[in-house]
């Protein structure tokens, strides 16, 4: 049975890789950009789902973790000349000027720094419950933003950083696609393995009933901290990728509205479902771009409808409310994709029952 | 720092603090009854200022009528919000209600952008509110004087309702023990609607005063005051009306004190509320005036 | 049942997206590509900076109405909203160059969005003309970005000179919008020039900060009152600035208040009311300055289109960006982005509505600035400051 699972998983990955290769062939550069963004949102949604969905901690600190990751990686990958050009108002701190690391290492350092931030903030706030935790983590991400705005010699303040190198090691823009989706696959596999492990079961036990979980001998704080730190790591990676995909970052990019976008994705996909987060991240990111037409002028034959800017976001907010009120489980609930779905299809076997 | 400067800072701080306090009361009332952060409270506050704005500019009502209409309509909106977004989820996990609150807030903001437009609007100020008093070397605008008075009156009336009336007794009962209150025959739905109505009316009053003091309306204007006033409520001890007022003043005076003591630190002002929140939660999680309550199983 | 519903929901979502996606790709092919020349516009039409974006699009549309053709072909404007958001700005930029295949791009209000989009234009090799993005970083190290406005260092310099020579003050106070690159930049260059002019290292006696969205500035202003400053320099977003003016008056602060081009929006006067009287700021354009013959043309067209409205400076810049683009296309003789870029780089003494534009080696406009004040509830022209000759 175990072996079959591994084989199935490998087959899934292979299928995904083949799909990606095919897609890469005919995506235009605009479509590829949106698709890359989808990948980044998958990573972000999965990292939030780990904290919010599997452990049931309602954390709103994602934008803060992303900011830490993005700034760390950016400072490590930018060349000395680029930094000097950016810091034209206030010179950069000398110890930061000359450090430069290859992208993969800088990316991991970015993730680790986000984890470190999560560890420091987690020690006090993870002892809080639900709403207090939400507001404290939201506060944390705002504090990060305010600090990054004010420490001009480290972050260039409100001016932000420009000229971040391309994702990858060859400094080619086309490399981003494989890096991002490679990291997506790693993230998905990691999350699946983690959730199926003893830790994963402990996470879910905490989500279902903290008191009972504690009575069963699960160390609440340790497990919460673990999920929080791991989630922050991937959020940091996501932030770094986002910054390098765009080539520029500034503190305003990491407002809590960014966190709300990820909450939207996770809720629509189903809190506590990896499959749901993946599908939802892709669908929402594409839909955000496609529904742009709502904001502009629509011409149907001779009929011209003048769009009101902002309509697109209303559509998403309404969708979110509908899902929350009438369809709380989202797209997938806590269910996951598995190959056994195919076995359950009526024309293959009629005996199988949904467990 | 000269005495005059100090007094001027003090006046500024009291004025800001009483605005925060007024909004914090609304948070605290709702939280006390439903154990719910009404994320949309700040947006209700925003709607109130827009209603007052359109009443004066489009429907040409006198200011007092516009304010009255804004307060009544906002109270109704608060009740509708509770019915639509929170009541259906009352038996759901806490996390669902919180997401619903965030979703509602998101929806109101985005609708406001489409309906009211993204450009800022100037809040119409009746001449009687724009007078400036000069006492010694300290300048005080009339609004600055009115705000603490209104806050004091609101606090007095609320205290009366909560402690002296039957509805108030029912409110306290619901907040102590939801299920027991239900068993005692208290009409829970009515009490919750009433609380939301009263909380929203307070938000409306706060919104109008805010508009008079900072006469600039934008659809996202409720977010920051909303967050800060929630923090004020937590600092004072959430669910406690006097605590909310105390928290509001601590926050208002604290923010002014930071800028006053060191202009170089003024860029960090917005972080102050959040840092204070985390510190309070660490050392006194129930807030300054909150009572300890054991975790219910 | 629930499961079926969820699958259905997913299917509907995906199908609708595919359908819309296909529909969109089909649309551009209706018109033969040779017949039109496409000019892309990316501006914030929603979000925090919607006001500025709308004004610039107004100017671009007006110019398009006056000059609808170039090289005998129709000009098609493709206007995208960048939502006052960097990620969206980069997406919109990619869409313009990749999907819509525009020859040249105009925009944006807000330097941050221009910087984010700039990387895309540079890689695609499509030239962009900035309207009112004044941050030096926009064009630095990007040979495809140009602009029709002057940059922050020049504006800070102009105001420092004005404060020293015309207002005749020796001590100033700053209120800086710390989360706004524009405000931070202007203050820095004001500071440098002012210290040099006065020869006093401590000529700036008070520096206070605030964040975008703040509404209470009483503490900073009370501090300034006690600091002995003779004037206040408070460049920043116009909504916050209007509140600063109002609160300064309420606190009995009667110092001259100086600022930058963002103040030239009617909302400043609406919100600050009588408190806006006498504030002084530098900007790009004024109807009375009659900088070039094109100014008159622009004003006439504007009066016809929007009767009773005063044109904003950024509207004139939007207008200029469009006519400069057309001029470059004409000089290049083709709609090829590379040829247009080279033509743009060679721009010299081009007459625009908001002054004569010559582009320097960075692609920044070297042009005169206009200084204005508020008098009787109206923006009033004071003087014109000529560019610094290098």
Which of A89, A288, A319 to substitute to test the interface with C, most C CBs within 10 Å?
Answer: A89
Given the cut 0.90, state whether the ipTM is greater than it.
no
Q: What is the rounded CA–CA span in Å between residue C218 and residue B36?
A: 33
Question: Which residue in chain A is spatially nearest to C117 when comparing CA positions?
Answer: A246
A chain contacts of residue C98, beta-carbon cutoff 8 Å: 28-30, 33
More confident residue, B208 or B178: B208
Q: Specify whether the CB–CB gap between C271 and C294 falls below 8 A.
A: no
pLDDT for the residue C351: 92
CB atoms within 10 A of CB B219: 25
Each domain of chain C, given as residue ranges in start order, spans 33-150+290-359, 153-283+372-385
Q: What is the pLDDT of residue A350?
A: 43
Of the candidates A125, A143, A317, the beta carbon closest to that of B107 is on: A317
Is C153-283+372-385 assigned to CATH 3.40.50.2300?
A: yes
* Contact status of A318 with chain B (Cβ, < 8 Å): yes
Pick the range with the lowest mean pLDDT from A118-127, B122-131, B258-267, C332-341.
B122-131
DSSP label at residue C230: S
Measuring CA to CA, how many Å separate A108 from each of A73, A105, A263? 8, 5, 24
Task: Please report the pLDDT score of residue C103 as a whole number.
Answer: 95
What is the predicted pLDDT for the residue at A304?
58
How far is the C-alpha of C61 from the C-alpha of C68, rounded, in Å? 10
pLDDT at C17: 47
Considering the domain boundaries, does residue B259 fall inside one? no
Letter string b/e over residues A103-135, b meaning 16 or more CB atoms within 10 A of that residue's CB: beebbbbbbbbbbbbbeebbeebbebebbbbbb
B266 and C219 within 8 Å at the Cβ level: the answer is yes
On chain C, the residues whose CB falls within 8 A of the CB of A173 are 123
Closest listed residue to residue C389, CA positions, set C371, C370, C364, C366: C366
- Residues of B at the C interface, defined by Cβ within 8 angstroms: 1-2, 4-5, 8-9, 12-13, 15-16, 113, 117-122, 125, 130, 132, 134, 137, 139, 141, 144, 210, 214-216, 218, 220-221, 224, 255-256, 258-260, 263-264, 266-267, 269-270
Size of interface A-C (CB pairs under 8 A): 133
Alpha-carbon distance B86 to nearest alpha carbon in chain C (angstroms): 22
The nearest CA of chain C is from the CA of A52 a distance in Å of 21
Q: For residue B292, what pLDDT band results from cuts at 50, 70 and 90?
A: low
pTM: 0.87
Residues of C whose CB is below 8 A from B45: none
Question: Which residues lie closer than 8 Å to B283 by C-beta, 6 or more apart?
Answer: none
Count the neighbouring beta carbons within 10 Å of the beta carbon of residue C293: 10
Q: C215, B12: Cβ pair inside 8 Å?
A: no
For residue A147, with 0-12 CB atoms within 10 Å meaning exposed, 13-18 middle and 19 or more buried, which class applies?
middle
Chosen for mutation from A56, A143, A147 (greatest number of chain B CBs closer than 10 Å) is A143
For residue C215, give the chain B residue with the closest CA: B214
Contact across the interface for A313 and B110, Cβ inside 8 Å:
yes
Q: What is the pLDDT of residues C75-96, one digit of tens each?
A: 999 998 887 888 888 888 998 9
- Window 35-74 of A, Cβ < 8 Å to B: 52, 56, 58
A80 contact residues in C (CB cutoff 8 A): none
Contacts of C85 in chain A (CB under 8 A): 253
Distance from CA of C211 to the nearest CA of B (A): 7
Cross-chain Cβ contact B268/A132 below 8 Å: no
Are B120 and C222 a contacting pair at CB < 8 A? no
Interface check for A296 against chain B (CB to CB < 8 A): the answer is no
Nearest Cα to A252, choosing from C48, B255, B263? C48
Whole-number pLDDT of residue A282: 94
List of chain B residues whose C-beta atoms are within 8 Å of the C-beta of residue A311:
114
pLDDT per position as a tens digit, C208-262: 999 988 899 999 999 999 999 999 999 998 889 999 999 999 898 999 999 998 8
Give me the residue from C54, C223, C242 closest to B263, CB to CB: C223
> pLDDT (tens digit, 9 = 90+) per residue, A257-274?
899 889 989 999 988 889
- Give per-residue pLDDT as tens, C185-195: 899 999 999 99
CA–CA–CA angle A316, C113, C138 (5° rounding): 170
Longest dimension (CA), chain B: 61
Q: What pLDDT shows up at residue B290? A: 73
How confident is the model over A191-235, as pLDDT tens digits?
999 999 999 999 999 988 888 999 989 999 999 999 999 999 999
Q: What is the pLDDT of residue B128?
A: 82
Q: Is residue B284 part of a domain?
A: no
The chains found to touch B (3+ Cβ pairs under 8 angstroms) are: A, C
Q: Which residue of C has its CA nearest to B131?
A: C250
What span, in angstroms and rounded, lies between the C-alpha atoms of C274 and A334?
Answer: 60
Q: Is residue B294 part of a domain?
A: no
Element (H, E) at C138: none
pLDDT, tens digit, 9 for 90 and up, residues C327-362:
999 999 999 999 999 999 999 999 999 989 999 999
CA-nearest residue to A320 within chain B is B103
3.30.700.30, 3.40.50.10860, 3.40.50.2300, 3.20.20.70: CATH of C33-150+290-359? 3.40.50.2300
Q: Is C250 in Cβ contact with B139 (below 8 Å)? A: yes
Determine whether the interchain pair B119/C267 forms a contact, defined as Cβ–Cβ distance below 8 Å: yes
Asked whether residue B203 is assigned to any structural domain, the reply reads: yes
The nearest alpha carbon in chain B to C211 belongs to B267
For the stretch B239-275, pLDDT in tens is: 888 899 999 999 999 999 999 988 888 889 888 999 9
Of residues B290 and C203, more confidence is placed in C203
Return the minimum-mean-pLDDT range out of A7-16, B7-16, C132-141, C174-183.
A7-16
Which chains have 3 or more CB–CB distances shorter than 8 Å to chain C? A, B
> Considering CB atoms only, which of A30, A250, A291 is closest to C98?
A30
Nearest CA in chain A to B36: A131
> How many C-beta atoms surround the C-beta of residue A138 within 10 A?
25
Same fold, C33-150+290-359 and C153-283+372-385: yes
pLDDT, one tens digit per residue, over B77-107 is 999 999 999 888 888 877 788 889 889 999 9
Tell if the CB–CB gap between B103 and A134 is shorter than 8 Å: no
Residue A1 reports pLDDT greater than 80: no
C207: distance to nearest CA of chain B, Å?
Answer: 6
Partners of A330 on chain C (C-beta within 8 Å) are 6
Comparing CB atoms, the residue among A128, A139, A264 nearest residue B274 is A139
- Nearest chain A CA: its distance from C187 CA (Å): 10
Neighbouring CB atoms inside 10 A of C386's CB total: 9
Which of B110, B122, B131 is the best residue to mutate to test the C interface, defined by the most C CB atoms within 10 Å of its own CB? B122
Does A130 contact chain B (CB < 8 Å)? Answer: yes
- The domain tally of chain B equals 1
* pLDDT tens-digit map of C91-144: 889 989 988 899 999 988 888 899 989 989 998 999 999 998 888 889 988 999
Question: How far is C295 from chain B, CA to nearest CA, in Å?
Answer: 27
The percentage of residues in chain C with a pLDDT greater than 70, rounded to a whole number, is 91
Q: Which chain B residues touch C209 with a CB distance below 8 Å?
A: 263-264, 266-267, 269
Contacts C191 to A, Cβ<8 Å? none
A12-63 confidence digits (pLDDT tens): 888 888 888 888 888 888 888 899 999 999 999 999 999 998 998 889 999 9
Answer whether B98 sits within 8 Å of A143, measured CB to CB. no
Read off the pLDDT band of C1 (50, 70, 90): very low
Return the closest-CA partner of residue B37 out of B183, B223, B238: B238
C220 CB neighbours in chain B (<8 A) are 259, 263, 266
């Amino acid at each position: 049975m175990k072996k079959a699972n591994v084989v199935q998983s490998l087959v899934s990955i292979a299928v995904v890789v083949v799909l990606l290769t095919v897609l890469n062939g005919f995506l235009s550069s605009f479509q590829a950009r949106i698709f890359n963004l989808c990948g980044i949102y998958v990573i972000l949604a999965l990292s939030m789902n780990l904290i919010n969905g599997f452990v049931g901690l309602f954390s709103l600190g994602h934008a803060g973790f992303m900011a830490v990751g993005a700034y760390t990686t950016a400072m490590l990958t930018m060349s000395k000349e680029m930094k000097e050009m950016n810091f034209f108002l206030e010179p950069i701190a000398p110890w930061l000027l000359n450090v430069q690391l290859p992208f993969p290492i800088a990316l991991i350092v970015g993730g680790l720094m986000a984890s470190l931030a999560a560890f420091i903030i987690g020690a006090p706030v993870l002892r809080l419950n639900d709403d207090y935790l939400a507001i404290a983590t939201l506060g944390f991400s705002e504090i990060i933003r305010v600090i990054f705005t004010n420490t001009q010699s480290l972050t260039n303040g409100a001016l932000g950083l420009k000229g971040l190198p391309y994702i990858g090691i060859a400094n080619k823009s086309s490399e981003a696609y494989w890096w991002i989706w490679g990291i997506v696959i790693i993230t998905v596999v990691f999350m699946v393995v983690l959730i199926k492990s003893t830790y994963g079961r402990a996470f879910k036990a905490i989500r279902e009933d903290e008191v009972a979980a504690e009575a069963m001998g699960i160390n609440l704080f340790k497990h919460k901290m673990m999920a929080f730190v791991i989630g922050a790591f991937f959020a940091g990676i996501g932030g770094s990728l986002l910054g390098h995909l765009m080539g520029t970052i500034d503190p305003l990019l990491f407002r809590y509205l960014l966190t709300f976008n990820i909450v939207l994705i996770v809720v629509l996909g189903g809190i506590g479902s990896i499959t749901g987060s993946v599908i939802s991240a892709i669908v929402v990111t594409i839909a955000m771009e496609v529904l742009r037409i709502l904001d502009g002028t629509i011409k149907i034959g001779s009929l011209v409808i003048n769009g009101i800017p902002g309509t697109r976001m209303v559509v998403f907010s309404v969708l979110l409310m509908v899902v929350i009120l009438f369809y709380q489980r989202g797209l997938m609930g806590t269910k996951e994709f598995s190959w056994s779905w195919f076995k359950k299809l009526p024309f293959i076997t009629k005996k199988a029952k949904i467990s | 720092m000269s005495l005059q400067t100090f007094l001027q800072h003090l006046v500024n701080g009291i004025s800001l603090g009483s605005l925060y306090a007024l909004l914090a009361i609304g948070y605290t009332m709702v939280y006390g009854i439903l154990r719910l952060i009404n994320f949309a409270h700040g947006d209700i506050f925003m709607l109130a200022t827009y209603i007052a704005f359109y009443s004066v500019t489009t429907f040409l009502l006198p200011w007092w009528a516009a304010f009255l209409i804004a307060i009544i309509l906002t109270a109704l909106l608060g009740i509708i919000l509770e019915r639509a977004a929170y009541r259906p989820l009352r038996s759901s996990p806490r996390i669902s209600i919180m997401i619903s609150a965030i979703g509602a807030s998101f929806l109101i903001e985005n609708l406001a952008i489409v309906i009211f437009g993204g450009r800022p609007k100037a809040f119409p100020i009746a001449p009687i509110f724009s007078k400036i008093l000069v006492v010694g070397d300290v300048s005080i605008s009339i609004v600055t004087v009115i705000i603490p008075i209104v806050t004091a009156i609101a606090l007095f009336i609320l205290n009366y309702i909560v402690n002296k009336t039957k509805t108030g007794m029912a409110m306290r009962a619901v907040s102590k023990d939801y299920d027991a209150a239900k068993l005692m025959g208290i009409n829970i739905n009515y009490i919750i609607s009433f609380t939301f109505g009263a909380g929203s009316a307070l938000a409306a009053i706060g919104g109008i005063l805010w508009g008079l003091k900072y006469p600039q309306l934008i659809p996202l204007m409720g977010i920051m005051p909303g967050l800060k006033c929630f923090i004020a409520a937590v600092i004072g001890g959430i669910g406690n009306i006097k605590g909310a007022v105390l928290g509001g003043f601590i926050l208002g005076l604290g923010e002014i004190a930071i800028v006053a003591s060191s202009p170089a630190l003024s860029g960090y002002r917005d972080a102050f509320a959040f840092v204070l929140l985390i510190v309070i939660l660490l050392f006194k999680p129930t807030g300054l005036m909150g009572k300890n309550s054991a975790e219910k199983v | 049942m629930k499961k079926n519903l969820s699958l259905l929901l997913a299917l509907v979502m995906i199908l609708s997206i595919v359908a819309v996606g296909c529909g969109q790709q089909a649309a551009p092919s209706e018109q033969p590509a040779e017949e039109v020349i496409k000019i892309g516009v990316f501006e914030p039409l929603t979000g925090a900076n919607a006001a500025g974006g709308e004004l610039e699009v107004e100017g671009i549309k007006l110019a398009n109405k006056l000059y609808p053709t170039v090289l005998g072909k129709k000009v098609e404007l493709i206007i995208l909203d960048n939502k006052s958001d960097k990620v969206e700005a980069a997406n919109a930029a990619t869409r313009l160059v990749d999907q819509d295949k525009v020859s040249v791009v105009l925009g944006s209000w807000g330097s941050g969005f221009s910087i984010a989009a700039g990387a895309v234009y540079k890689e695609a090799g499509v030239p962009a003309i900035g309207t009112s993005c004044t941050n030096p970083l926009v064009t630095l190290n990007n040979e495809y970005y140009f602009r029709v406005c002057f940059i922050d260092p020049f504006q800070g310099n102009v105001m420092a000179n004005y404060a020293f020579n015309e207002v005749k003050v020796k001590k100033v106070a700053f209120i800086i919008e710390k989360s706004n690159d524009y405000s931070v930049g202007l203050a820095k260059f004001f500071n440098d020039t002012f210290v040099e002019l006065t020869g006093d290292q401590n000529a700036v006696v008070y520096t206070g900060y605030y964040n975008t969205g703040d509404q209470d500035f009483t503490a900073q202003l009370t501090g300034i009152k006690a600091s002995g400053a003779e004037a206040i320099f408070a460049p920043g977003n116009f909504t916050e600035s209007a509140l600063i003016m109002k609160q300064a008056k309420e606190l009995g602060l009667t110092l001259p208040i100086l600022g930058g081009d963002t103040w030239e929006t009617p909302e400043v006067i609406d919100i600050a009311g009588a408190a806006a009287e006498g504030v002084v700021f530098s900007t790009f354009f004024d109807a009375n300055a009659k900088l070039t013959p094109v100014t008159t043309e622009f004003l006439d067209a504007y009066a016809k289109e929007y009767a009773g409205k005063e044109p904003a400076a950024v509207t004139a810049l939007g207008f200029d960006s469009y006519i400069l683009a057309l001029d470059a296309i004409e000089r290049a003789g083709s709609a090829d982005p590379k040829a247009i870029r080279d033509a743009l780089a060679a721009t010299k003494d081009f007459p625009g509505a908001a002054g004569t534009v010559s582009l320097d080696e960075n692609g920044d406009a070297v042009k005169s600035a206009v200084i204005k004040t508020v008098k009787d509830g109206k923006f009033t022209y004071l003087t014109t400051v000529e560019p610094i000759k290098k």
